[in-house]
Amino acid sequence: MLDDISTNGFSLRLSRVAMTKPDYRYSVLTPREQEIIDLMAHRAPGVKRKEIFAAMADRFGIDAGSAERYFKQARAKLMRQGHPLPRGL
């Protein structure tokens, strides 16, 4: 890049859009709550919530019911704070 700048006076780098959905970060959430909100917001069409809860349970060594409680707790926090919920939550 520095060679481009020294030779041409500028550097142009184009990148393709890799992200189809924006990331939402909320300071009121715990890291685990944030992660499950991210997974829910970025799930592929047709993927059920139960599948996300099962994946979270496997990842953290907890049961799916606990993962569901994290999600509901996070969603309730966001709603209480007046944050708009991402589509799919």
Q: How confident is the model at residue 38 (pLDDT cuts 50, 70, 90)?
A: confident
Does residue 42 carry a pLDDT above 60? yes
pTM for the model stands at 0.67
Instruction: Count CB atoms within 10 A of the CB of residue 67.
Output: 24
Closest among 5, 3, 84 to 37, alpha carbons compared: 84
Pick the residue with more confidence: 70 or 12? 70
pLDDT tens digit sequence for 46-87: 999 999 899 989 988 999 999 999 999 999 998 888 877 777
In the prediction, which pLDDT does 58 show? 93
In the prediction, which pLDDT does 89 show? 73
CB 32 within 8 A of CB 60: yes
